[in-house]
Structure 1
Amino acid sequence: MSREILLQCGDLVAGIAPGSGGSVSRFSSEQEGIKTNWLRPASAADLSDLSDLAAGGPLGMGCFPLVPFSNRIRNGRFQFQDKSVQLPLNFGDHPHAIHGHGWENSWSIEQQTADSLVLGYVHDADAWPWTYRAQQVFRLDDTSLTIELSLTNESDSDMPAGLGLHPYFPHSAGVTITATVAAMWQVDDEVMPVKLVEPLSSADPNSGLNVTTTILDNGFTGWHKCAVLRWPERNRGLVMTATGPLDHLVIFTPENEEFFCVEPVSHSTDAVNAAEQSAGMISLPPGETVTASVKFEIA
């Protein structure tokens, strides 16, 4: 399998790495000989393999898929209907299960053209006691990259289901994120949700959040499915729009890093253990499919 498949349309190029979690390895444009990276580009080492997730692979990519859940499940443990589930703790000494299975596995190529690609991933029941099928459809046009992500329950009982994307954007001084949201989850030292509050005035995406001066690793509810990213040194920005059940947004702006993340997802962190329906975890019946999409448009 090729480590990277390149899609091209006009002056836009997208790279996809099926063997590295079905991740986007690059998304860039070129105008008048000037190349602009809209997602963080992967290095050759990141494209190598999945043997050490903490050292590279999907964590060095521009974007990876989140299936069948987003973010963390506390201690990897939950009860769903008649099933008690204990998931492997899949990220070093981190005490919680994180980001599902899709990013940890190779995806198969199902269809390919010059500007589109379809990848598939099948997960057989194991510690996660449901079999499911996931699919990603990548489409490139003159101004945008669209990723459609779907999840189908192939088991004989209802399955808890979530999905989303984990894009990494290049950081530069003064870059801003603007998005309409309703509330923010306060988190504890393990980045687990504690309490829903109004967004802090100093870190409110509703009025425009300065990535350089704001440190966050928080989920937001009531997202209106549009986020605008602006880099001061560029004459264009990126508009990220979503469809389907992606009503939640995770914003990760780590200190002293060359990236930041704005993650469209279908549920809050640890939603499978939350009593509130608003947490967003879907109960997906046998044979049913949930689908969402995210468009990254240069504007």
Structure 2
Amino acid sequence: MSNEHITLTAGDAEVDVLPGNGGRVGGLRVGGTELLRQGERFGCFPMVPWCGRIRDGRFLDGAEVRQMPLNAPPNAIHGTARDGAWKVARVTGDEAVITYDLVEPWPYAGRVTHVVALTPDSLTLTMSVETHGASFPAQIGWHPWFNRSLGDGGEDVRLDFAPAWQEERGDDHLPTGNRIEPKPGPWDDCFGMPGGVDVTLTWPERLELKVSSREEWVVVYDEQDAAVCVEPQTGPPNGLNTMPRLVTPLEPLEATTLWSWRRL
């Protein structure tokens, strides 16, 4: 595994990119304050070629059933790319481009490109999946772990968003297919935002950070004490079965999320 550690800087913002650890963003510091939970499984990892859980790890490709490893039994979760080592394509002071070639257990050839671009008050993450071979269903998403507290005895983060609906969650943690009125947290739930993802995290008197995306799906997970997750993605959990997006030689799948912040 590559131990390469890329640090981008812009103004008083710094971001760490860890190609060898699943292509994840390992840290984001604003004025020296770390916003992301630290640890090799945390930071913010790319979810690709699927997001969240696939029921029983199985999805249909035409008439063929494809089986993924059950890494969250009885389901498969969060794609395969977070377990791989990515390659560095290009690095400048404030931007890194890394790539990952899809390999077994994913049954199709394809390449993922992840662009991490920093400004003094924003971070833009752009991911694309392309193929020169067979077409296949895929999803793109990001799984950031934002620190619930920034330390210094300040108040915990507050989440503010106005989804159009919540995906009803079954006992198996997967959407049932019913859309319901959004319920109060705590959440491990998928929400629909047809106008685009727009979630504000506020650490009172410290920092406000907006997570936005043109995509219309976001999973919010705040059942852990240390961190809250706001996960923009191109489809709901189990979406390879319920709402597949096709990657073809003519049409890659691409998505972007923008995190922008301001001091309070």
Q: What TM-score, normalized by structure 2, do the two folds share?
A: 0.90
Determine whether 1:282 maps to 2:230: no
Which position in structure 2 is the counterpart of 1:193? 175
* Residue 193 of structure 2, aligned match among 215, 222, 232: 222
* Residue 182 of structure 1, aligned match among 133, 144, 164: 164
Q: Is the 8 A contact 2:188 2:220 kept in 1?
A: yes
Which position in structure 1 is the counterpart of 2:99? 120
- The Cα offsets for residues 56-93 of structure 1, whole Å up to 9 and x where unpaired, read as xxx2x2100011110010011122213221111124xx
SS of the residue aligned with 2:236? coil
Which position in structure 1 is the counterpart of 2:152? none
Which position in structure 2 is the counterpart of 1:6? 7
- How is 1:128-207 mapped onto 2 (pairs within 5 angstroms)? 128-156=106-134, 158-172=135-149, 173-194=155-176, 195-200=178-183, 203=184
Query: Could you list the runs of 4 or more consecutive aligned residues of structure 1 that deviate by over 3 angstroms after TM superposition?
Result: none
Return the alpha-carbon distance in structure 1 between the equivalents of residues 59 and 121 of structure 2: 42
Q: Is the 8 A contact 1:130 1:154 kept in 2?
A: no
Which position in structure 2 is the counterpart of 1:73? 54
Return the alpha-carbon distance in structure 1 between the equivalents of residues 22 and 3 of structure 2: 13
Structure 2: state its 5+ residue gaps: 150-154
Which position in structure 2 is the counterpart of 1:254? 223
Residue identity over aligned pairs, in percent, reads 30
- How is 1:80-95 mapped onto 2 (pairs within 5 angstroms)? 80-91=61-72, 94-95=73-74
Structure 1: state its 5+ residue gaps: 47-58, 204-213
Q: Is the 8 A contact 2:139 2:240 kept in 1?
A: no
Return the alpha-carbon distance in structure 2 between the equivalents of residues 107 and 121 of structure 1: 5
Q: Is the 8 A contact 2:199 2:211 kept in 1?
A: yes
Return the alpha-carbon distance in structure 2 between the equivalents of residues 190 and 65 of structure 1: 23
Q: What TM-score, normalized by structure 1, do the two folds share?
A: 0.80
Which position in structure 2 is the counterpart of 1:38? 35
Q: In structure 1, give the amino acid aligned to 2:256.
A: S
Determine whether 1:101 maps to 2:72: no
Q: In structure 2, give the amino acid aligned to 1:264.
A: P
Return the alpha-carbon distance in structure 2 between the equivalents of residues 154 and 23 of structure 1: 25
Q: In structure 2, give the amino acid aligned to 1:28.
A: R
Determine whether 1:240 maps to 2:211: yes
For this pair of structures, how many residues does the alignment match?
A: 254
Return the alpha-carbon distance in structure 1 between the equivalents of residues 30 and 212 of structure 2: 19
SS of the residue aligned with 2:56? helix
Which position in structure 2 is the counterpart of 1:208? none
Return the alpha-carbon distance in structure 2 between the equivalents of residues 82 and 120 of structure 1: 30
